Amino acid sequence: MADKKRKLDDERRDSPRVPMKFLVRDVGLRDGEWEEREGDLSLGGISWKGKTAPHGTEVDVRFRLPMVPKEVRARGEILRVKAAGVGIDFHLRFTELDVRSELAIARYLDDLIAKQK
């Protein structure tokens, strides 16, 4: 069982992470304001630093990718919250992301990797 979990963790780390700005809102606060966060985007989710935790474990996320006209909208589950100095690290896994947006994220990450070679 531990080997299977380690393999899944390794596979998640295979996806590159790139700096990105996000708008984040607690799912429980439908009429709440979107808060801007800076963090990292990967194929399976995002991470960011903040000072306060959302009320629940589900958040809505919005962000823009270069060369993609529509804003990406997703829902995610906060998997990990870790104190980090003066802030808190949040790690979120996408739970609702349409196929078109997922493909756009994959193309964006692939293009960045290709440019680095």
Q: Quick check: is 64 in a domain?
A: yes
Q: Quick check: is 4 in a domain?
A: no
The whole-model pTM stands at 0.80
* Total count of domains within the chain: 1
Q: Which domain holds residue 31?
A: 12-116
pLDDT of res. 61 = 96
CATH of the domain at 70: 2.40.10.220
Q: Quick check: is 42 in a domain?
A: yes
pLDDT of res. 18 = 93
Q: Quick check: is 54 in a domain?
A: yes
Q: Quick check: is 7 in a domain?
A: no
Q: Quick check: is 5 in a domain?
A: no
DSSP structure string for the chain: -HHHHHHHHHHHHHS--EEEEEEEEETT-TTSPPEEEEEEE-SSEEEEEESS--SSSEEEEEE--TT-SSPEEEEEEEEEEEEETTEEEEEEEEEE--HHHHHHHHHHHHHHHHHH-
Q: Quick check: is 27 in a domain?
A: yes
Low-confidence ranges of the chain (pLDDT < 70): 1-14
